[in-house]
Amino acid sequence: MTADEAMALARHEIACIPDAERRQAFGALLAPAQNEMRLKKCGPEIFECWQVARVAERRISIVYVCWEYEEHWAVVPDEQPDLCYDGHWFLLLDDALISCAWNGPLPPNYEVS
């Protein structure tokens, strides 16, 4: 994956968010993709990640991780070199951003993917 591909994926996922207010708020958090290597919290594996968004006031970032046949978005503290635990992993970028950067109303019948 390249930085351009990571950003295209993030922009596509944000464009698919049905709520215009969330789309706008989350779009403002996007930052140029940065390649990072991060450890898996519960093992010795190192994964290539793409940081695509940052919540500066909370000092956390959203990274895209693809390994084997799985793709995930992870919420990670900026000063932490690993990928955190399962509670910080999401299938959709919208869910990752809701978990760390959204103070507005949740969508009706909202469930994390």
pLDDT in tens, 53-100: 999 888 999 999 876 667 788 888 887 766 765 557 788 889 988 888
Give the pLDDT of residue 28.
Answer: 93
* Average pLDDT score over residue span 108-113: 78
Give the pLDDT of residue 68.
Answer: 65
Structure-token pair, residue 36? 């990072």
